[in-house]
Amino acid sequence: MRALHDIGRYFIMLGRMIARPEKWGMYWKEYMRQMYNIGVGSVVIIAVISVFLGAVTAVQFSYQLSSSFVPLYYIGYIVRDMMMIELAPTFSCLILSGKVGSNIASELGSMRSTEQIDALEIMGVNTISYLVAPKILAAVSIIPFLVILSAFLGIVGGLIATTTTGGVPTEVFYRGLGMWFEPFNVTLMLIKGVVFAFILGSVSCFQGYYVKGGALEIGAASTRAVVNSSILILIADYLIAAMLLV
């Protein structure tokens, strides 16, 4: 019953979120602020993780192919598709669920705990539309670009890891990058980025907006935001793959 109650409140929140803003300028400023916090504030961690993801993927496949008759240019092909189809969207959003999701839940939870949300509601402000919608829209807008950056840097990391060790010549890696390219893989990567961003933003906002209590409850809500959004991202990853790739 608790789970059904939470699911109902979640969809009610999404319904109230799409209400027409009374002052577009105020919402626009909040939207841009969230875009900056989510996007610029996450570039460094996404860059570092992506470079090493690509490097590890390339080194492992290089090791596996070294004792086989499979051409080495397959490493570039494998790193490219692994980063685009799976590693960039999924790992990036899982990392962002820990960084961005917990921040969103904590911010809304603090506003609820200090009665700032209640004060806005007394003044007639649709707090879900004003506080929740810009965060979700900002996440959906900026996270796909972080996913693209992650895929690019992952390929660069794979190139650096394989060529600097002398295992794979640069031209061989580039040859693999250009082989059997499917434009649909880019579309799939962006679809995953948008869906995962919506899950990350909406679940985190839900956990923070409806928190009750003080600091301990806010911490618990942040933890639930990270755990629930991570689980839902992995479930959505499977469903998207099952619907679009099978």
∠ CA 182-183-185 to the nearest 5 degrees? 75
pTM as predicted: 0.87
- The range of the structural domain enclosing residue 82 comes to 23-244
Tally of domains in the chain: 1
Q: Please check whether residue 113 lies inside any domain of the structure.
A: yes
pLDDT digits (tens, 9 = 90+) for 69-102: 767 767 778 888 888 888 889 988 999 988 888 8
b/e per residue, 23-56, with b = 16+ CB within 10 A?
A: eeeebeebbeebbebbbeebeeebbebbbebbbe
pLDDT digits (tens, 9 = 90+) for 154-192: 888 888 888 777 667 777 777 777 777 788 888 889 999
Measured between alpha carbons, how far is 193 from 109 in angstroms, rounded to an integer? 26
Measured between alpha carbons, how far is 172 from 238 in angstroms, rounded to an integer? 32
Q: Please check whether residue 4 lies inside any domain of the structure.
A: no
Q: Please check whether residue 18 lies inside any domain of the structure.
A: no
Q: Please check whether residue 13 lies inside any domain of the structure.
A: no
Measured between alpha carbons, how far is 80 from 16 in angstroms, rounded to an integer? 41
